[in-house]
Structure 1
Amino acid sequence: MQRNIMEKPPDMSIMLLGSTGSGKSASGNTIIGIRETFKEDLSNESVTRTCESAQTELDGQTITVIDTVGLSDTSVKITDAETQIEQMLTLHSVDVFLLVIKLGETFTENSKVVKWIQDHFGSKFSKHTIVLFTHGDQLHEPIERYLSKRETLRSVVDQCSGGFHVFNNKDEDRSQVTELLEKIESLRIKNACKRYTEQDYKQTQRALLLKKCAVGAVIVGAVIVGAVGAVGAVGAVGAYEAVGREAPKPPEASMLEKLLVLIGLKAAAPEPEPEPEPGLAATVGKTVVIGAGGAALAIAAAAIVGAGVYLLASNYSSKGKYKSN
């Protein structure tokens, strides 16, 4: 006798990201279905100081919701937020990121947060992201028309493979949660059920570290080359002016003087005096040579320093904090 056994749907993991006061904690509570799960406040000040996670079960499926620190919260150092997020990714690979944005606010501050998230989570982030607009009760027109008037915001939505969804966290109607979970499931299928992992995050951090080291090396090299090149330029100007004052007579003029002496039309030149110490022209000329040589050495030194810093950073990132498991 054969029996058809309903397979339990795979667990789902959701991470909420966004700026302070965007409604991440309230959205997490709406998904979980219990208002007190994540601490929330009606003010624009963040009440979430650490990343937290909670679970619920819907139709036999375990759903993990991860609430994160507000990324524009000045009371929490951004490096601390990075560390907490990395620790959460160690515990939970993520099916979908909900990029939480509050409706009715200017996008200026949010755009900086979105840019930071995109840079620090890498190219795979957009493949696993749905934009979640909160405060849907303040929306007095279709969301599509709202977005059509805001090109920058529309661009953010277009970059996210999962599109967007609107939440009214004051509404206890569970249909908005059901619709969101359906969109998440569609995105999971689109991604062949591959999750965003801790390794994905660490690879992006490693690339950022190497990029910062390379830029730093270029800046240091440019300063060195600029300083030595300036010395050479000053020397060149000085030499030009000095040569203009102390330049020797052309050979043709010397030969004419000798001919005039022989035919008696010019008195013989007096015995030459001992050679004076090198004049300004000679001294500055040496400066030009030193400056030019120094610039070449500075360029080579900058290249060596840059390569050294890059290799050290690469070695550190591969063996240290950002070593992939």
Structure 2
Amino acid sequence: MESIELFLKNIGEGRLLEKFRKNEIDMELLKTLPDKDLKCLLTDIDLKPGTRMKIIHKREEMLKNKGTVEKPVNPENTKETETKNTGQGTVEKPVNPENTKETEKENTGQGSVNALVMSFDMKIAEQGEKTTPLTFQSAKEEKVQGVVPKSKHTPKLPPKPSNLMRAEPPKMKDTNRSVPSDLLSLPAPGPSLAVDEHPEWGSSGVYTKDKEIRLVLLGKTGSGKSATGNSILGEKVAFESTLSGKSITRVCSQKASVRFNRKIVVVDTPGIFDTTEPNEKTQQEIYRCIGITSPGPHAFILVLSIANRFTEEEERTVDHFVRQFGENIFQYFFVLFTRKDELDRHKYHLKDHIKNSPPKLISFIEKCGGRVFAIDNTLEGVELDNQVQLLLQEILTNLERNGGECYTDEMYKEAEKEIQKIEREKKRKNEEKRKRELEEIERKFEEKYEQKMKEERTALTNLQAELTNLHEDKKQKEDEMANLMERVAGYEEQLIKSKGKKRENLQQTIDMLREEIAQTKEIALQKEQMIENRMKTKYQTQENFANMQTNRNREMERARRHYEAKEDEKVREEVRTEIEKARPSYLERVGNSFVGFFGSLLGF
């Protein structure tokens, strides 16, 4: 086995050999000591952080190369003893390399606490947060009445029953628009799940643009588009709705809510299907929709009413919309029929309704990959929640089919680039405010943990002082035993030469001394047991202190990320609102990027 001398020379620390020998640290101990105890030991003998890390890494490399499968023993559970030859009597002394008598004396007072805190800082640095790569979760495939089965080329879906469903168009990849895997599944129907909150400063859940579901609703006046938006959002008056032929919403508008632990953003498009508006106005609304839904929608939903026929006017409008974005948009298109209650009342299935639809509509549905859905906007409560959740699950299933990427094209990319510039400018103006608020958050966490950590520091100081006293008491008893043993040895020599009454008196004296030795030994052993117990308490206190620091740092980091994400979400919402309201200060700036669409909204 490699010697401790060779081990230290191999890492360029041969000068430490004398210190290791003085503290009885050999290769056997180095190999068997647990990691956390080894770190404390190296700290207790006043090694620098860099030197400690070299020794720890070399030890790990040595064990790995030798293919050892043994776990280092825990010095708290096993005890090696060295027998001190003191004549007739002996005292068993546990070998605890982390706490020799000399080391305990050196580490008394505040200096020892500083050394301990330094070792804890290193431990925390080594325990940095681990991140787990996100992987896509398979979205649950639901068999829903009113949903025509998907393409036969799509895995895990039932075979197509009719010629309505064709294979979906090839996927359009854009690695810059990958959606986190936790966006690709929904919880079971029911109340919204709790979101990540920090009660320390009363914040609520945060949903950045990468954590939300963006939906664009298309359809003419009277199709039930606004009512559908309200159903999806779970709010009765999110969008103004009417049964009359008058279009309530004149410009693209967005509404958002948190449902099923997801932020859902719905954009209602009014002027796009409004035949009373000029083509230029329709084009402007398409561009406004791009700005509001940047970096891209997760679904385009064409809303049609069961009660109305698909007209040539709607066909032309849809064709115009598709031409703006290209054929790839079909990968994200859904056709949603409202007034499902009419079908249910007549016991008529959705696929039968589609078979009797105009050929142009059937062709459009086929291009969409057969993604159709029927909804009853008159439902309420759990029934409505279940219905909406099935729709969202269909959308997320399709999103997974598209590689977890939202829709995007060159116009969306240009819009997102300019919007991010606006966001950076807003953040720059509020930089001082953000800095002050972050400092306040950190201060609150410092206050929260300071008292507890102060108590642990005091406990460590008291333990260290108590250990020092115990070692001194134990040393005193050992010295007393040594003196007694010397006296016994002297009397025994005299006993050999003595006779009669003198011999009898000497024997009585020897017996009394031996009894005193036994009592002193018992006290020394009690001191040793007390030292061992205090050391266990010390280890636990050290671990508690390190855990407090780790928890404090982790909570502060989570709080910082939460705050920054919340601020980012707030800035994005401000920009979207300003685009929605066509504010000149931003639309003019972005307008030059693609076709001057924001400029068109302002009339330049």
Specify if TM > 0.5.
Answer: yes
CA-to-aligned-CA distance 1:5-44 (integer Å, 9 cap, x gap): 9985332110001222211111100100111000111112
CA-to-aligned-CA distance 1:89-123 (integer Å, 9 cap, x gap): 12322110001111122222322222222222321
Say whether 1:147 aligns with 2:354: yes
Output the CA distance in 2 between the equivalents of 1:163 and 1:41: 27
Say whether 1:18 aligns with 2:222: no
Output the CA distance in 2 between the equivalents of 1:120 and 1:65: 20
**Which residue is 1:194 aligned to?**
405
User: Structure 1 73/194 Cα, relative in aligned 2: closer, same or farther at 3 Å?
Assistant: same
**Which residue is 1:38 aligned to?**
239
**Which residue is 2:391 aligned to?**
180
Kindly provide the amino acid, as one letter, of the partner of residue 83 in structure 1.
Q
Distance apart, 1:161 and its partner CA: 3.3
Identity among equivalent pairs (%): 30
Output the CA distance in 2 between the equivalents of 1:41 and 1:103: 17
CA-to-aligned-CA distance 1:209-239 (integer Å, 9 cap, x gap): xxxxxxxxxxxxxxxxxxxxxxxxxxxxxxx
**Which residue is 1:129 aligned to?**
333
Matched ranges for 1:69-80 at <5 A = 69-80=270-281
Matched ranges for 1:147-166 at <5 A = 147-150=354-357, 151-161=359-369, 163-166=371-374
Distance apart, 1:162 and its partner CA: 6.1
**Which residue is 1:116 aligned to?**
320
User: Structure 1 319/94 Cα, relative in aligned 2: closer, same or farther at 3 Å?
Assistant: closer
Is residue 271–residue 281 contact of structure 2 (8 Å, CA) maintained in 1?
Answer: no
Output the CA distance in 2 between the equivalents of 1:200 and 1:190: 23
CA-to-aligned-CA distance 1:251-283 (integer Å, 9 cap, x gap): xxxxxxxxxxxxxxxxxxxxxxxxxxxxxxxxx
Is residue 23–residue 100 contact of structure 1 (8 Å, CA) maintained in 2?
Answer: yes
Structure 1 gaps of 5+ residues are 204-316
Output the CA distance in 2 between the equivalents of 1:78 and 1:107: 21
Distance apart, 1:75 and its partner CA: 3.8
**Which residue is 1:169 aligned to?**
377
Distance apart, 1:127 and its partner CA: 0.8
Matched ranges for 1:1-325 at <5 A = 9=183, 10-92=211-293, 93-108=296-311, 109-139=313-343, 140=346, 141-150=348-357, 151-161=359-369, 163-172=371-380, 173=383, 174-197=385-408, 199-200=410-411, 321=596
Distance apart, 1:45 and its partner CA: 1.9
User: Structure 1 147/164 Cα, relative in aligned 2: closer, same or farther at 3 Å?
Assistant: same
Output the CA distance in 2 between the equivalents of 1:29 and 1:69: 15
Kindly provide the amino acid, as one letter, of the partner of residue 240 in structure 2.
K
Greater shift, 34-43 or 118-127, is seen at 118-127
Distance apart, 1:170 and its partner CA: 1.3
Is residue 258–residue 264 contact of structure 2 (8 Å, CA) maintained in 1?
Answer: yes
Output the CA distance in 2 between the equivalents of 1:81 and 1:70: 6
Is residue 25–residue 39 contact of structure 1 (8 Å, CA) maintained in 2?
Answer: yes
CA-to-aligned-CA distance 1:42-86 (integer Å, 9 cap, x gap): 112211101111111123211111111143324433322322331
Q: Which has the larger radius of gyration?
A: 2
Output the CA distance in 2 between the equivalents of 1:202 and 1:102: 33
User: Structure 1 319/63 Cα, relative in aligned 2: closer, same or farther at 3 Å?
Assistant: closer
User: Structure 1 202/86 Cα, relative in aligned 2: closer, same or farther at 3 Å?
Assistant: farther
CA-to-aligned-CA distance 1:151-191 (integer Å, 9 cap, x gap): 33222211113611101111222221011001000111011
User: Structure 1 138/66 Cα, relative in aligned 2: closer, same or farther at 3 Å?
Assistant: same
User: Structure 1 119/15 Cα, relative in aligned 2: closer, same or farther at 3 Å?
Assistant: same
Q: TM-score, normalised by structure 2?
A: 0.32
Output the CA distance in 1 between the equivalents of 2:302 and 2:262: 23
For residue 111 of structure 1, give the secondary structure of its aligned residue in structure 2. Answer: helix
CA RMSD of aligned residues (A): 3.0
Structure 2 gaps of 5+ residues are 1-126, 135-180, 184-210, 415-591, 599-604
User: Structure 1 59/4 Cα, relative in aligned 2: closer, same or farther at 3 Å?
Assistant: farther
Output the CA distance in 2 between the equivalents of 1:106 and 1:146: 11
Is residue 54–residue 66 contact of structure 1 (8 Å, CA) maintained in 2?
Answer: yes
Larger % of strand: which? Answer: 1
Kindly provide the amino acid, as one letter, of the partner of residue 193 in structure 1.
G
Output the CA distance in 1 between the equivalents of 2:334 and 2:224: 15
Output the CA distance in 2 between the equivalents of 1:90 and 1:162: 28
For residue 351 of structure 2, give the secondary structure of its aligned residue in structure 1. Answer: helix
Output the CA distance in 2 between the equivalents of 1:60 and 1:33: 13
User: Structure 1 53/17 Cα, relative in aligned 2: closer, same or farther at 3 Å?
Assistant: same
**Which residue is 1:289 aligned to?**
none
Distance apart, 1:200 and its partner CA: 4.5
User: Structure 1 101/136 Cα, relative in aligned 2: closer, same or farther at 3 Å?
Assistant: same
Output the CA distance in 2 between the equivalents of 1:200 and 1:160: 22
Q: TM-score, normalised by structure 1?
A: 0.58
Output the CA distance in 1 between the equivalents of 2:377 and 2:268: 15
